[in-house]
């Protein structure tokens, strides 16, 4: 089953994109800021979400890790 049809997997993919984009933006801000539009703009927007909502994103990551651990 793909991540698009399983809601928990879709949330996990979205959280991983947000976390990875925020980390990549902290390492190479010039590259991310140049690509604010188009396909790569999704990663720029994800990085903004990860930077501005980092406490909530980290709490969501912990909850997802617990749910995956419990759910198997």
pLDDT in tens, 12-62: 889 999 999 999 988 988 888 888 888 888 999 999 999 899 888 888 888
Banded pLDDT at 4 (limits 50, 70, 90): low
In a domain, 41, yes or no: yes
**68, HSE (Cβ side, Cα atoms, 13 Å):** 13
In a domain, 1, yes or no: no
Q: Evaluate if residue 71 carries a pLDDT over 80.
A: no
Please state the domain count of the chain: 1
* 3-class SS letters over 5-61: CCHHHHHHHHHHHHHHHHHHHHHCHHHHHHCCCCCCHHHHHHHHHHHHCHHHHHHHH
In a domain, 2, yes or no: no
In a domain, 25, yes or no: yes
In a domain, 43, yes or no: yes
What is the pTM assigned to this prediction? 0.80
pLDDT score of 5: 76
pLDDT score of 2: 60
């Amino acid at each position: 089953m793909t991540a698009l049809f399983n809601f928990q997997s879709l949330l996990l993919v979205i959280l991983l994109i947000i976390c990875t984009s925020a980390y990549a933006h902290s390492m190479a801000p010039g590259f991310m800021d140049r690509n604010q539009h188009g396909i790569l703009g999704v990663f720029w927007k994800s990085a903004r979400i990860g930077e501005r909502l980092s406490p909530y994103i980290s709490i969501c990551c912990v909850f997802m890790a617990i749910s995956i651990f419990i759910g198997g």
